[in-house]
Structure 1
Amino acid sequence: MANLFSVFDPSTSIMNLNMNWISTFLGLMIMPYYFWIIPSRFNMFWNKVLNTLHQEFKTLLGSTKNLTSTLFFITLFTFIVFNNFLGLFPYIFTSSSHLTMTLSMSLPLWLTFMLFGWINNTQHMFAHLVPQGTPAILMPFMVCIETISNIIRPGTLAVRLAANMIAGHLLITLLSSTGPSLSHQVISILIITQILLMTLECAVAVIQSYVFAILSTLYSSEVN
């Protein structure tokens, strides 16, 4: 199993410096060029996606005072979806399938939301610990349950993204490793299966990015 999972953590180093995480910054060499290109179908499609996300995040945040706050969550979505798609290419390190990467995004987000909520809206945060209509005898248990569910939020965000990304890659690796020992008829079925799995992984890359961004937006709306 150690050899199997080592596929997702290749040792790429120059002068004893780990170069794996440079894949996260490859977008800096690609994305700026779109600002100097005549608008294409891809640009119009991406602008439509961003406008749709802006409308959804604006509705979830429920605040009309600062609509630019949706820009942060749109940027978060773009960053994650880019890294997810980048991991689908051969020989490119998948940074979003590692807890180091996902926790470094979810933990600071959760900490800032909690600090902002407890400092500025303390009474509102206490009210969230006891849902409306809870019987008095169940209130201590509900406070414990709500506190635990609040504390594990960054972990669930990070594990959800990392587990979903590594699961599909692991399945593709397992199926491809059986190729040399199969007959020609079975290999054709295997290739079709791999194509379907890659299509599924493309969908998962977008869905998990959207889920991460939308849950972060919901957590932000709860502290206001």
Structure 2
Amino acid sequence: MTALPATIDLLNTVTDDATQECVERQKVLAAQSGDMTAFEWLVKQNEKRLFGFCTRWLHSNEDAREVCQDAFVRAWQALPEFEVRAKFSTWLCQIALNLCRDRAKSRAARQNESTITLDDVDKPPLCTQSTPDENAELQSELQKLDRGLALLPEKLRAALMLTAMEGLSHEECALVINCSVRGVEGRVYRARQMLMEWWDENK
């Protein structure tokens, strides 16, 4: 009997997810018919998460903001061809990832970029009972993680960020980066191994 509450919570979570997907599907269908209000709802549901992903990939608030705006514009333009049975958020992430890659390649020619670290990205506030020393240690760990991720090969970094940081399933990640589920698993494994080795070497 003690497992019953946990089971109920799990069922509620599944129900909530299904309800959210149903609402999203309805909004997508409406947006495909030209309903801008429905598309604005989709934007609001995804903009914060998408901005966080782009910021972590590009390390620049300005670049991330521009990429997010471009991603939504392209999504609106391509929406008539979008297959509603797919998840809109996964499709949007694929668009943003491609734009991030293009921006990262072209950014080398620009001189005045604004560099930030993971601790500048929106995240839950620190525990109010944390000591200054604990907060400083956490910020240092986040900055170290940021440096380690940046050193990973692009394919491995994308797989790790999408699954571990964005919460995509391996199936969803496979759709975004256009590879097999087994390929995603392999990339995530290699990324974790490389990151752990680098972390140990830079204590």
Structure exhibiting the larger radius of gyration computed from Cα positions: 1
TM over 0.5: no
Q: Give the TM-score normalised by structure 1.
A: 0.25
Name the structure, 1 or 2, with higher relative contact order (CA <8 Å, separation 6+): 1
